[in-house]
Structure 1
Amino acid sequence: MDTTPTRRPVWLRDSSTPPLADVFRSIPVRAGGSGWRRFLAFVGPGYLVAVGYMDPGNWATSLAGGSQFGYALLAVALISNIMAIILQSLCARLAIATGKDLAQACRDAFPRWLSWPLWALAELAICATDLAEVIGTAIGLNLIFGIPLEIGIFITAADVFLILWLQTKGFRWIEAFIITLLGVIATCFVIQIALADPNWGDLIRGFAPTTDIVTNPDMLYLALGIIGATVMPHNLYLHSGIIQTRAYGHTVPEKREALKFATIDSTVALMFALTINASLLVLAAATFHGNGMVVSDLTEAHGLLSPLLGAAFAPVLFGIALLCCGLNSTVTATMAGQIVMEGFIDIRMAAWARRLVTRLVAIVPAIVVILIYGEAQLGELLVLSQVILSLQLPFAVVPLVMFTASKGKLGALVAPLWLTVAAALIATLLVTLNVKLIFDFLTGAL
C-alpha cells in the first residue's frame, strides 16, 4: 500500500501563521463574566477601522458638498455609511469564522502566482492612503504651528517612533490612543458647530433624500464622490486582521457571540465616523453656504473660519482635528501594511522598517509636487490618491463578498442570503462609482 502523503492542491493550502502574530488573541474574553464585560473586550477594533473614513479626501469632499449645497448631502453621507457598516461586518464574519484575515483568505483560495499581484495592488492602495495622511498631517502642522508644508511632510516620518512606543505597551494602548484622538476630534467639531449655529431644522431634513440629488448634475457629482470614497480597501484587510486580537474561543456559540459583539463595535464606531463627516458637512453648510462661498480646499477653509465664526480659536480647532486624523491614520495604515504583506506573500518585516519604507514612498511624491508645482497642487495629489484607492477596491470587496457567501469556507457562520445580496449590490455600486472616478480623472473631469 502506498503511504506517500497526497500533495494538497495549491488552492487548498492553509495559512498557518495568524495575522499580527505578536498580538494575536492577546486580549482575553472572560467566558464566565457578564455579557457586558465580554462586550467591552471587543470594543476597539471598530474605532481603528473608523479612522479610515475620516481621511483628508473625505474632508475635502464634505467641505465642497456643504459649502455648495448646504445640508442636502447629509442623506448621501448616511447612505454611504450604512454601506460601510455592512461590508465591515462581513470582514468580522470572515475573520471570526475562519481565523484568517482577508489577505490570507485570498492567498489560500487563489493560485499562488496570483498572490503577488494582489499584494502589489494592496500595497499600492496603502501607499496612496499614506500619501493622503502625509498631506493632511503636514497641512495640520502648517495650520497650527505655521510649519512650511515641505518641512511638515518630513516631520511626519517621525511618527514611526510613536508607533514603536505604542506597540511595546500592548494592543489596548494602541486602541486607547486612537479613541483618545477621536475624542479630541469630536470635541473640536462640537465647539465649531456651536459657534456656527446651524439651522437645526434644515440639518435634520438634510438626512432625508431628495430628488435634487439625482436631477442636479453638480449635486449628483459630489454625491457620487462621497459614496465612491466611502470604503477604503485597506480597511477591509485591517478589520479582518485586528479583530483576531481577541481570544474569543473556538466553538460555534462562542464565535456567534464574538461576531455579534464585533459587529456592534464596528457599527457604533462607524456611526461615530458618520458624526464626524456630517459635522464637517454641517460646518461648511452653516459657515460657508450661508455666506455664499464654495470652498473645497482645506487651507482656504481654515483661513475663513475665524472671520466668519468670529472666534480666533476656531481655525486652531480645525487644524487640531486635521492633525489628529493624520496621526490616527498613521497607526492603522502601518497595521494594514503588515497584514497584507504577511497575508499575501508571508513575508515579515520589522514594524519600524515597514513604516519607514511606506512613509518614504508617500513623502517623495508630495515633496516633488511642492517643489515643482507649488503647494496649490497638493489637492490634485489628494485626488490621485483616491483614484489609486479606486483601482484596488474591486480586488478587496469582490473576494470578501464571495468568501462570506460560501458555506464551505464559513460553515455555520456563512452570511445569510439577504446580507449577501445587499453586500453584492453595494459592491457593484461602489465598483461602478470608482470606475467612474477613474474615468473622470483620465478624461480631465476631475
Structure 2
Amino acid sequence: MKHSESLSEVNQSVDTSKRTGWRRILSFIGPAYLVSVGYMDPGNWATDIAGGSKFGYQLIWILLMSNLIALLLQSLSARLGIVRGLDLAQASRNAYPKWINIPLFGLAQTAIIACDLAEIIGMAIGLQLLFGLPLIWGISVTIFDTVLLLFLLNKGMRKMEAFIVSMVFIVGLSFLVEMFIVEPSLKDIVKGFEPSMLSGDALYIAIGIIGATVMPHNLYLHSSLVQTRKFERDQKGIKEAIKFNFIDTAVALNLAFFVNAAILILAAAAFYKNGLHEVAEIQDAHKLLQNIFGNVAPALFAIALIAAGQSSTVTGTLAGQIVMEGHLKLRIQPWLRRLITRLLAIIPAFFTIMWFGESALGGLLILSQVVLSLQLGFAVIPLIHFTSDKKTMKGFAIKPWVKVLAWVSSLMIVGLNVKLVVEEITGWSSSGGWYLYVIIIPLAILIGLLLLYIFIYPFLSSRKEEHNNVPHGVALDIESVEKISYSRIGITVDFSKNDRNTIRHALLQGGKHANYYLIHVVETAAARYHGNSVLDYETQSDAENLEKYRTNLKELGYQATAHIGYGGTVNAIVEISKQNNLELLVMGAHGHQGLKDLILGTTVNSVRHKVTIPVLIVR
C-alpha cells in the first residue's frame, strides 16, 4: 500500500499555488458542489413534495434552518481536512479505541448503502417517467454507474467536478423553468420564511426534511475532497484555504437550498393550491404535473430526477471508499469496492420489486431515510470534538460561539432523528412481529449506548492520540545494511518479448553462483483436468521452449532447471515455489490497462499475496 492519503488517487491533484486573483479562488471551487448533490437527492424530493403538497409554503423556513445547520457542519468538515490533512474516518480511527472503529465503519457503510438505495430508486423512477422503462430494468441499469465513476476518476478531479456541476446545473435549470410554468405566489413564499409552531404531521414532515438534508456521508466526503487542493501548508496558506472553501461551501449549499425550496414551492403551487394535499409519491407528483400543466413540466421533472440520482451516486460511492480506508485501513481495487457498494444497495431494491411490487418502493425510500438518520450522530459528534481540539487543530480550532452553535445544532438534529426513529418503531409495533423485540429494539438500544460512548469518550480520555497517519505506522530506524545473496531464484516465463527483461533482472540478483528455476504454467482445459499427465500440443511446445531457455542459460554459465505447472496459474506458481524452497521469485508484469487489467492483470497480485518470499516484479 503505497499511499496513506485520503482518496490517494486524486489527493493534492489540483495545484492552486500557480494562480492569482479570481483564478486562485476558482481553483478551490469544486469540492462543495460534489457534496451539495447529497442535499438534493431523491430522498429530499420525497420530503419536499410531501411538505409542499400538504402544508403549502409553511415549511420553507425549516428548509432554510436545515441549510444553515448544514453550512455550519460542512464548513467544520472542510476545516478538519484542510488543517489536519485527515478525513473524518481517519481522525476517528486515531482518536477512538481500535474496537470502536468496527461498529463506526459498519454504521457509516450502512448509511452509505441506504443513501445509495435512495439514489437508485430515484434514478429508476426518473427513467420510468421519461422513457417508460420498467423499474426493475431501471434499477439494473444503475449498476453501470460504477464504470462511469471509474472513468471519471481516471480523467482527474477537475473532470469529475465538471460532470457533477453540470448535473447540478441541469437540476437547477429544470426547476427554474418549472417555476415560470407553475407561477407560485411570491407573497406566500416570503411568508413561508417566518418561523411557526409545528405539530402533528407538520412536525413529522419537518423532522423528515431535516433528517434528509444533513447526511452523514457528506461530512466524511467533504473532509476528504478538500485535500484534493495543493496549497502552501503554512499559517497563511491554511487560513486562505479555509476561507476559499467556506465560499465554495456557501455558494454550493445555497444552490442546494434553491433546488429544495423549488421542489417544495412547486408542490405547493401545483398541488396544495389545487386541493391535492396527499401527494407523497414521486410518481404521483409527475402524473399530477402532467394533468395540470401538460408535457413540458413533467419531462423537466424526470430529467432533474435522473441528474440528481446520477450525481448523488458518484459522491455516495466515493464516501464508501473514504470510510473503508479510514476506519479499517482496508484498500481494495477501486472497481471492486464501487461494485460491492452498488450491489449492496441494488439487492434490497431488486427484491422489494420482485416480492412486493413496484408500489412498495416508496416505503423502501422512507426506510432508507430512517436508517440514514440513525448514523448522523456518529459523524456529527466526533466532528465537533475534533475541530474543537486546540492541540491537534494548531491554532485553527473553532471559536467558542461556533462550538456552542455546533453542539446546539447537533443536539437538535440527533434529538429530532431519534424522535423519528422512535415514531417509526412505535408504528411497526402495531404489527407485533417477534423480530421487533428480538432484533430491532435491542439493536436501537445498543446503537444509542454507542452514541453516548462516542460523545463521552473524548471528555474522559487522557490517552494521547497516536501519531499514526492512516493506514501506515511510524517509520523505523534503518541500521546497518548487509548484502542479501539469493541462491534459489524462480523466474516465471510466458514466451513473450517480456521474458528477456525478466530473465536479465533475475540473473543480476544471483549471478553465476545461484540456481535458477524456470517456471511456466500450461493453462489449457486439458491441463486443468489432467494435470501433469496431459500431452497436448501446447504442453509439448511449451516444454521445448522452456528447455531452450535452460540450454541457453547453461551455455552462458548459469545453472538452471525447467519446471512446468498445470491448470490455475497462481496456484501452480505458488506450489512450485514451495516445493523448491525458492528464496526469490522474479515475475514479469505485462502493463495491462483498463479492461485488460481487469481480466488478465491479476496473476502478479495474487501470487505475491500467497507466497512468503520476496517477489521482484519486472515491467
- Deviation for aligned residue 1:377: 1.0
Task: Summarize the Cα distance change of 1:165–1:82 in structure 2 as closer, same or farther, 3 Å threshold.
Answer: same
Q: Which has the higher strand share?
A: 2
- Tell me the amino acid that sits aligned with residue 157 of structure 1: I
Give the TM-score normalised by the residue count of structure 2: 0.68
Q: Secondary structure at the match of 2:175?
A: helix
- Deviation for aligned residue 1:392: 1.0
Task: Supply the distance in 2 between the matched residues of 1:339 and 1:420 (Cα, whole angstroms).
Answer: 26
CA RMSD of aligned residues (A): 1.4
- Structure 1, unmatched stretches of 5+, are 1-14
- The partner residue of 1:206 within 192, 207, 213 is 192
- The partner residue of 1:237 within 199, 211, 220 is 220
- The partner residue of 2:154 within 141, 163, 168 is 168
Instruction: Please tell me whether the aligned partners of residues 78 and 242 of structure 2 are also in contact (alpha carbons under 8 angstroms).
Output: yes
Tell me the residue number matched to 2:304: 321
| 2:334 pairs with 1:351 | yes
Tell me the residue number matched to 1:259: 242
Greater relative contact order (CA < 8 Å, ≥ 6 in sequence)? 1
| 2:76 pairs with 1:93 | no
Task: Supply the distance in 2 between the matched residues of 1:385 and 1:135 (Cα, whole angstroms).
Answer: 10
- Deviation for aligned residue 1:313: 1.9
Instruction: Please tell me whether the aligned partners of residues 55 and 133 of structure 1 are also in contact (alpha carbons under 8 angstroms).
Output: yes
Task: Supply the distance in 2 between the matched residues of 1:180 and 1:16 (Cα, whole angstroms).
Answer: 31
- The partner residue of 1:28 within 5, 12, 15 is 15
Tell me the residue number matched to 1:4: none
Tell me the residue number matched to 2:453: none
Taking the TM superposition and a 5 Å limit, the aligned residue runs for 1:136-155 are: 136-155=122-141
Task: Supply the distance in 1 between the matched residues of 2:67 and 2:428 (Cα, whole angstroms).
Answer: 26
| 2:290 pairs with 1:303 | no
Give the TM-score normalised by the residue count of structure 1: 0.94
Task: Supply the distance in 1 between the matched residues of 2:428 and 2:74 (Cα, whole angstroms).
Answer: 31
| 2:181 pairs with 1:195 | yes
Instruction: Please tell me whether the aligned partners of residues 61 and 226 of structure 1 are also in contact (alpha carbons under 8 angstroms).
Output: yes
Q: State the Cα deviation string for residues 169-196 of structure 1 (Å, max 9, x = none).
A: 1010000000001111111111111110
- Deviation for aligned residue 1:231: 1.0
Q: Secondary structure at the match of 1:250?
A: coil
How many residues get paired?
Answer: 427
Instruction: Please tell me whether the aligned partners of residues 71 and 282 of structure 1 are also in contact (alpha carbons under 8 angstroms).
Output: yes
- The partner residue of 1:129 within 115, 136, 142 is 115
Instruction: Please tell me whether the aligned partners of residues 334 and 351 of structure 1 are also in contact (alpha carbons under 8 angstroms).
Output: no
Q: Secondary structure at the match of 1:412?
A: coil
Tell me the residue number matched to 2:26: 40
Larger Rg, first or second structure (1 or 2): 2
| 2:374 pairs with 1:388 | no
Taking the TM superposition and a 5 Å limit, the aligned residue runs for 1:417-436 are: 417-436=400-419
| 2:273 pairs with 1:290 | yes
- The partner residue of 1:224 within 197, 203, 207 is 207
Q: State the Cα deviation string for residues 355-405 of structure 1 (Å, max 9, x = none).
A: 111111111111111111111111111111111111211111100001111
Q: State the Cα deviation string for residues 277-303 of structure 1 (Å, max 9, x = none).
A: 000000000000110002110001001
Q: State the Cα deviation string for residues 196-218 of structure 1 (Å, max 9, x = none).
A: 011111112211213xx32x422
Q: Secondary structure at the match of 2:213?
A: coil
Q: Secondary structure at the match of 2:395?
A: helix
